[in-house]
Structure 1
């Protein structure tokens, strides 16, 4: 059994200390063109949270991130990614929970996201937080023409 992870989530704005770790997580998580959570920080409407942590005997490191766009009264979750070696250990849940808390505090009415139809663990995670399927985007993902499920959670 692996050591318990201690995790903290912070919202980053401009200063990013773990650029390489975030880039490595993105490369491992996403097929196709590279995605950079750090590049998103150039957009004033982007919100980026990083989960940092590790076992009590380790130094803190980036474990995952969530990128969303906050526009007026909507939050659109673009990407949630966790380092491969810590998947299925609650990092994604902590990130989603943090983004939802931000949404409530910011008066967001609607939280939206798309997820690959085949990504059953992510779909279960989002359903756990009250998201429901609201539509399908056919052949949405360019790397394999996979459909995306549109999911939403109404907050107010």
Structure 2
């Protein structure tokens, strides 16, 4: 087995167009490792000013004791969305996602809600999916969320 890309390409017997493209593609693939590594190092470096104003804080929606937690699940994307509902003055991202693909209901809710992009969905339905209707959302947002909830039930 060849240890260098050039040696491997010399013995490559596949599509010639692919052979020309492989060095560039492998270089791009290598940056998937180096870019996040460099970002983590920069974030840890106190002299890097870009990350000094980034606020990282935990946020979790607590389920009231009147709702058995075994009967519901507030997905991560929905928790992020309701963080911005509870704090309307905060700058909002264009994309909301978690480490997993969004389920069907999260994807549909964000589609109806508008303003955020959800990059991927696996399209599965979960019977324990729930919106945190007990939260103290600002009054001016109630009508919009009620309309979205109605549209969600009609689909």
Q: TM-score, normalised by structure 2?
A: 0.28
Greater helix fraction, Structure 1 or Structure 2? 2
Instruction: Give 1 or 2: higher strand fraction.
Output: 1
TM-score in terms of structure 1 length: 0.28
